[in-house]
């Protein structure tokens, strides 16, 4: 168990050292302990918006069969000797209780509030089960609190700079779209396609209602709005051209239509007074 557990802890140590220069690259081996589950409690720096009951039950089933393969990361609770706050691994702790374990493996780190927040965010961001909005909000907290560049942040959490940048762009979407991503209704790819589009909330509703894939969403977001002939009536250029041809045939003269957002004009070209006289008789019903 110790060999499996050390790799993720060391990875976290490298990420944390990118944020906190004096953080140790690896945890003190002597800090790995076995503690009663009741001596632990959720920490105040959890980036998750909520924990899915089904996933915890699945993890509990795995723990019953294989045990806890990665220790929980914790610090001693300020002012409460013998009690510990979880920095990383709250799902494992909850699943261990569901699996009716009495003791769990814990790595104890001596961290202040600022360092504990960084460690909790890094530990969770290095995992793959945060939704895209939780990930983006975690990146923003680390950037704001530690003044990192996106490249250094990527090194801390094991991601590319472009991945960090693209994830952070999701924060520019309106709240209704961000909620769709949080709830798993829209993927991060769908959401990124809507960034910069006019009225992304309306477009997101169309994406969900029509079940569009990411490529179709990109096409929807970049499509130019069609001109309108009147209240709610579409007027694409080919329809205007067809209307010009029809009117020209009816009156026997060249008809042109110019349409814009605030209306337009219809013009009929004649060559001599005889043509004008014939047009007047036609329009007045005189044949």
The rounded distance, in Å, linking the Cα atoms of 131 and 250 is 62
CATH of 2-128, one of 3.30.1330.30, 1.10.274.10, 3.40.50.720, 3.90.1530.10: 3.90.1530.10
- Sign of the CA dihedral 177, 179, 183, 187? positive
At 90, is the secondary structure helix, strand, or coil? Answer: helix
Burial of 84 (0-12, 13-18, 19+ CB in 10 A): buried
Phi, psi of 183 (to 5 degrees): -85, 5
At 39 the pLDDT is 95
* Helix extents (H) in 158-236: 161-168, 175-182, 188-194, 200-210, 214-222
Inter-CA distances, 151 with 144, 165, 177, 199, Å: 14, 9, 27, 31
- Spot the catalytic one: 41, 58, 65, 90: 90
On whether the CB atoms of residues 89 and 95 are closer than 8 A, the answer is: no
What residue ranges do the domains of the chain occupy? 2-128, 174-222, 228-283
For residue 62, give the nearest of 92, 87, 84 by alpha carbon: 92
DSSP at 45: T
In 3D, which of 188, 60, 75 has the Cα closest to residue 123? 75
Query: Which regions of the chain are under pLDDT 50?
Result: 1-14, 21-26, 229, 232
CB 13 within 8 Å of CB 71? no
Q: CA 44 from chain center: how many Å?
A: 24
pLDDT confidence of residue 287: 55
Q: Is 90 a catalytic residue?
A: yes
The SS3 of residue 25 is coil
DSSP state of 82: T
Query: Would residue 35 be called left, alpha or beta, if left means φ above 0 and alpha means ψ between -120 and 50 degrees?
Result: beta
In Å, how far from its chain's centre is CA 68? 31
């Amino acid at each position: 168990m110790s060999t499996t557990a050390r790799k993720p802890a060391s990875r976290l140590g490298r990420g944390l050292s990118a944020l906190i220069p004096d953080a140790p690259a690896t945890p003190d081996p002597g800090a790995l302990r076995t503690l009663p589950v009741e001596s632990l409690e959720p920490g105040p720096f959890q980036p998750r918006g909520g924990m899915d009951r089904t996933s915890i039950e699945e993890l509990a089933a795995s723990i019953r069969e294989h045990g806890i393969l990665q220790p929980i990361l914790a610090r001693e609770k300020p002012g409460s000797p013998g009690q510990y706050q979880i920095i990383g691994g709250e799902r494992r702790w909850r699943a261990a209780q569901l699996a009716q374990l009495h003791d769990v493996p814990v790595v104890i780190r001596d961290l202040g509030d600022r360092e504990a927040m960084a460690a909790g965010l890094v530990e969770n961001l290095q995992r793959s089960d945060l939704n895209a909005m939780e990930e983006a909000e975690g990146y923003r907290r680390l950037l704001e609190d530690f003044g990192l560049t996106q490249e250094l942040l990527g090194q801390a959490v094991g991601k590319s700079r472009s991945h960090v940048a693209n994830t952070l762009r999701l924060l520019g979407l309106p709240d209704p779209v961000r909620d769709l991503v949080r709830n798993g209704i829209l993927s991060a790819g769908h959401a990124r396609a809507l960034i910069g589009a006019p009225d992304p909330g309306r477009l997101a509703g169309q994406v969900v209602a029509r079940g569009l894939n990411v490529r179709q969403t990109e096409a929807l977001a970049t499509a130019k709005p069609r001109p309108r002939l009147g209240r709610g009536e579409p007027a694409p250029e080919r329809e205007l051209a067809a209307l010009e041809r029809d009117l020209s045939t009816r009156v026997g003269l060249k008809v042109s239509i110019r349409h814009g957002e605030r209306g337009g004009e219809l013009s009929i070209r004649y060559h001599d007074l005889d043509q004008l006289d014939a047009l007047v008789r036609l329009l007045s019903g005189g044949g």
